[in-house]
């Protein structure tokens, strides 16, 4: 049996790192994943004047108290979707923020209207000019915020802006993802008063001061889920360590239906396959539904299962761009709008393919591991935005995988 250690959660880290701006002292953050989205968030803080110290390879001390100017330069922020968390955190700290419209994976339309709605409810005015979002408030005042769609980003941004507002803020129809809870726990460890994170109503009583804190980021459930599927696709037997089994339940339940064996321990999970994989249907939904960030990976697995599987994407408009790449590897998948129909062929063949986004890249790695012959994946900078040492970790499990730097490709690397 192989063993692999899961890193800290990307989508928690990219919220917690900007949130250190709210503290009136240094924060020590542990279990920080070494991925490019996190490097960009740290770099933004550094450029703004924060004092950053690496304590060890996954622990970092951030002192943001010297940041004076609540502006994130266009060139830095546009490379990363989660740069919008600087809006909430700067608005919460200074009552002002100027941040570029966010970049990130191309998954279809990615509006930020609900973020703006939350800031406005708290008393801020928001204007978009020259590709920058400007938010401003004399005083932020607690308010009732009803989110029209369940959104992780707007839930987190509303918390960041409200944590120091005067009075009570109630966020209704809030996202319940583990990283939403992790950010609330971090803010509470700084002295915030947030209740209900992980349910669809979050109550925040504003406090006047937040202290520095020591905090360890939760394990990345999507990285863990990706290794679970890699184990299943290769009919392997893998112990996945440093995880929270509860966060993996939507993934575990689906994999068991496909015929994958799973045994849970306190902070690890064993995944193995000793029989046929069978078809299923999957619909992605906000937590605790099946995560959209696991949709391409499970599609790769279902190409290897017996029978016809159906995947419905319930979060993003356009998350099937990877299908053309899987077809090059022999997959039989047809897509109509938000629904993909997969005829399991039980077999994939290696081919040259391109990662079109982060999770698409993970799906191609899974397909490449299971395929006969060699697969060459181009544009792996997408994968490096969200997976720490994926090649090393897979080699540790016996995979034959190497990473090559192709001259000229580095310039595109930062464009996430």
Which residues are catalytically annotated? 105
Q: 280 or 284, CB closer to ligand EPU?
A: 284
| β-bridge partners, 135 | 97, 126
Q: Give the 3-state secondary structure of residue 99.
A: strand
Q: Are 232 and 255 in contact (CB under 8 A)?
A: yes
- Alpha-carbon gap, residue 296 to 366, rounded angstroms: 10
- Per rule CB under 6 A, is residue 353 in the interface with ligand EPU? no
Q: Give the 3-state secondary structure of residue 268.
A: strand
- Per rule CB under 6 A, is residue 390 in the interface with ligand EPU? no
Q: For ligand EPU, which residue of 114, 169, 280, 297 counts as binding (CB under 6 A)? A: 114
User: Which residues, at least 6 apart from 245, have a Cβ–Cβ distance to it below 8 Å?
Assistant: 252, 264, 265, 266, 267, 269
- Per rule CB under 6 A, is residue 11 in the interface with ligand EPU? yes
User: Which residues, at least 6 apart from 63, have a Cβ–Cβ distance to it below 8 Å?
Assistant: 25, 26, 27, 50, 51, 52, 212
- Per rule CB under 6 A, is residue 161 in the interface with ligand EPU? no
- Per rule CB under 6 A, is residue 82 in the interface with ligand EPU? yes
The two structure tokens encoding residue 161: 């802006």
Closest CA relative to residue 244, chosen from 293, 177, 295, 153? 177
Pattern of binders to ligand EPU over 359-388, x per CB under 6 A? Answer: x--------------------------x--
- Per rule CB under 6 A, is residue 118 in the interface with ligand EPU? no
Alpha helices in 214-294 (DSSP H): 221-233, 249-258
Q: Which residue is nearest to ligand EPU (CB)?
A: 153
- Alpha-carbon gap, residue 199 to 26, rounded angstroms: 30
- Alpha-carbon gap, residue 290 to 352, rounded angstroms: 29
Q: 12 or 351, CB closer to ligand EPU?
A: 12
Total residues binding ligand EPU (CB under 6 A) = 25
Q: Which stretch binds ligand EPU (CB under 6 A): 45-53, 66-74, 112-120, 246-254?
A: 112-120
Distance (Å) of CA 364 to CA 116, 290, 356: 36, 20, 10
Q: Which stretch binds ligand EPU (CB under 6 A): 16-24, 146-154, 341-349, 404-412?
A: 146-154
Q: 100 or 236, CB closer to ligand EPU?
A: 100
Residue 263 CB neighbour total at 10 angstroms: 11
Q: For ligand EPU, which residue of 151, 226, 280, 297 counts as binding (CB under 6 A)? A: 151
- Per rule CB under 6 A, is residue 81 in the interface with ligand EPU? yes
- Per rule CB under 6 A, is residue 113 in the interface with ligand EPU? yes
- Please report how close the Cβ of residue 192 comes to ligand EPU at its closest, in angstroms: 20
- Per rule CB under 6 A, is residue 292 in the interface with ligand EPU? yes
Q: For ligand EPU, which residue of 45, 48, 240, 358 counts as binding (CB under 6 A)? A: 358
Q: 149 or 410, CB closer to ligand EPU?
A: 149
Closest CA relative to residue 403, chosen from 386, 387, 380? 380
- Per rule CB under 6 A, is residue 38 in the interface with ligand EPU? no
Q: 45 or 273, CB closer to ligand EPU?
A: 45
Q: 217 or 315, CB closer to ligand EPU?
A: 315
Residue 404 CB neighbour total at 10 angstroms: 8
Distance (Å) of CA 394 to CA 35, 186, 266, 302, 382: 16, 31, 23, 21, 17
Q: For ligand EPU, which residue of 112, 255, 269, 311 counts as binding (CB under 6 A)? A: 112
- Alpha-carbon gap, residue 359 to 350, rounded angstroms: 19
- Per rule CB under 6 A, is residue 316 in the interface with ligand EPU? yes
- Alpha-carbon gap, residue 217 to 29, rounded angstroms: 7
Reported as type and span, the H/E element at residue 14 is helix 10-19
Q: Are 159 and 202 in contact (CB under 8 A)?
A: yes
- Please report how close the Cβ of residue 201 comes to ligand EPU at its closest, in angstroms: 17
- Per rule CB under 6 A, is residue 31 in the interface with ligand EPU? no
Closest CA relative to residue 399, chosen from 358, 353, 367? 367
The footprint of ligand EPU on residues 164-203 (CB under 6 A) is: 175
Q: 314 or 330, CB closer to ligand EPU?
A: 314
Residue pointed to by tokens 């120091």: 164
Q: Which residues bind ligand EPU (CB under 6 A)?
A: 11, 14, 81-82, 105, 109-115, 149, 151-154, 175, 292-293, 315-316, 358-359, 386
């Amino acid at each position: 049996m192989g063993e692999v250690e899961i890193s800290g959660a990307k989508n928690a880290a990219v919220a917690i790192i900007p949130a250190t701006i709210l503290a009136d002292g240094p924060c020590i953050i542990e279990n920080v994943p070494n991925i490019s989205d996190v490097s960009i968030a740290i770099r933004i803080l550094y450029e703004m004047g924060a004092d950053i110290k690496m304590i060890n390879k996954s622990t970092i001390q951030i002192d943001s108290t010297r940041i004076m100017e609540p502006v994130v330069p266009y060139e830095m922020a546009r490379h990363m979707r989660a740069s919008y968390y600087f809006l909430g955190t700067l608005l919460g700290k200074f009552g002002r923020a100027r941040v570029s419209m966010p970049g990130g994976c191309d998954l279809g339309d990615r509006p930020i209207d609900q973020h703006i709605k939350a800031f406005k409810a708290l008393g801020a005015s928001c204007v978009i000019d020259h590709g920058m979002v400007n938010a401003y408030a004399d005083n932020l005042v607690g308010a009732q915020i009803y989110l029209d769609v369940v959104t992780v980003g707007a839930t987190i941004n509303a918390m960041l802006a409200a944590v120091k507002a005067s009075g009570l803020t109630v966020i209704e129809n809030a996202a319940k993802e583990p990283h939403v809870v992790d950010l609330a726990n971090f803010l509470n460890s700084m002295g915030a008063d947030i209740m209900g994170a992980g349910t669809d109503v979050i109550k925040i009583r504003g406090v006047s001061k937040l202290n520095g804190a020591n905090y360890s980021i939760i394990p990345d459930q999507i990285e863990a889920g990706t290794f679970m599927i890699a184990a299943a696709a290769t009919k392997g037997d893998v112990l996945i360590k440093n995880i929270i089994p509860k966060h993996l339940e939507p993934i575990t339940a689906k994999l068991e239906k496909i015929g994958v064996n799973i045994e849970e321990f306190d902070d690890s999970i064993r995944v193995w396959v000793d029989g046929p994989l069978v078809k299923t249907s999957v619909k992605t939904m906000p937590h605790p539904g099946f995560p959209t960030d696991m949709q391409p990976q499970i599609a790769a697995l279902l190409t290897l299962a017996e029978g016809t599987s159906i995947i419905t994407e319930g979060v993003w408009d356009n998350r099937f761009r990877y299908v053309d790449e899987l077809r090059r590897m022999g997959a039989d998948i047809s897509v109509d709008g938000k629904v993909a129909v997969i005829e399991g062929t039980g077999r994939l063949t290696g081919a040259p393919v391109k990662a079109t986004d982060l999770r698409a890249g993970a799906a191609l790695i899974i397909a490449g591991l299971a395929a006969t012959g060699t697969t060459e994946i181009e544009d792996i900078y997408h994968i490096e935005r969200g997976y720490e040492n994926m090649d090393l970790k897979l080699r540790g499990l016996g995979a034959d995988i190497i990473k090559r730097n192709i001259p000229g490709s580095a310039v595109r690397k930062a464009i996430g």
